Amino acid sequence: MDMGLKDKSVIVTGGGSNIGRAIVLGFAAENARITIGDIDPEQAGKVAAEAEKRGASAVQVVKTDVTDKAQVDALFASAVDRFGGVDVLVNNVGWDQLMFFTQTTPELWQKIIQVNYVGVLNCTRAALDVMVPSKGGAIVSISSDASRQGEAREAVYGGVKAAINSFMKSIAKENGRYGVRCNVVCPGVTVPESTDEVGKTSMWANSDSMFTEEQFEKIAKSLPLRKLGRPSDIAGAVVFLASPVAGHITGQVLSVSGGYSMIG
């Protein structure tokens, strides 16, 4: 099915690893023109090369720390200069460190807030500065089912992701009149297929620090679909929501988690 994304200008933040990598490759298969904003340009470069093989019309990598507004502005300027605009933004960058709230520190809170929320604010503002005058665009933000269910060892992260859900609904209401659609995808536990799919800055660089193999097995058995999520599962939903095929969908929060949460 043609998703109507050929030659569209797409920015994917954190496109070098895991879910972000799969999202980039998903847009590549639709012949989009892709700008990867990533703090690890070496890893992002590997993904860019693979995206070109998968059919991307063009790909560029811009080293970007999404917590730095100046770097975000430079990312969008690069996309506009090379591809003439920005049709799609995927706010994918995310980071967490699993521990009980009583074990965390204010310094950790601030890092989680900066990376997961302030980064979304910076990128969304930059996207709207381009999309509103152009009278169109799609923004998809990656949240988490921890934002909908609550999850032990993810109190701060889950709270920040819940803020993203609400923020994106507000942005959808404010900017729908300009043809800008905003939606959210909430993954559950989503595990890369191999270490080649993650960079050194990824929180999955050492998967043992996230979950043990026994925990992975228990998680899979607890889900209605009886399997863990993979990055490609999330990418399919993102590409759909970003595409003209989903042209009458905005302000929605979609769980892609094997049935972990079922919220009407």
CATH of the domain at 53: 3.40.50.720
Domain-embedded: residue 261: no
Q: Which of 66-70, 169-173, 214-218, 256-260 has the weakest average pLDDT?
A: 214-218
DSSP per-residue string spanning 179-218: TEEEEEEEE-SB--SSGGGS-TTSTTTTGGGT--HHHHHH
Domain-embedded: residue 2: no
What phi and psi, each to the nearest 5 degrees, are found at residue 10? -120, 130
Does the annotation count 157 as an active-site position? yes
pTM of the full structure: 0.95
- Is the CB of residue 10 less than 8 Å from the CB of residue 88? yes
User: Domain count of the chain?
Assistant: 1
Q: How many Å apart are CA 156 and CA 147, to the nearest integer?
A: 10
Domain-embedded: residue 263: no
Amino acid at 249: I
Residue range of the domain that includes 125:
9-256
3-state secondary structure of 241: helix
The pLDDT tens digits for 184-234 are 999 999 998 777 678 777 776 766 667 888 888 998 999 999 999 999 999
Domain-embedded: residue 111: yes
Domain-embedded: residue 243: yes
Domain-embedded: residue 27: yes
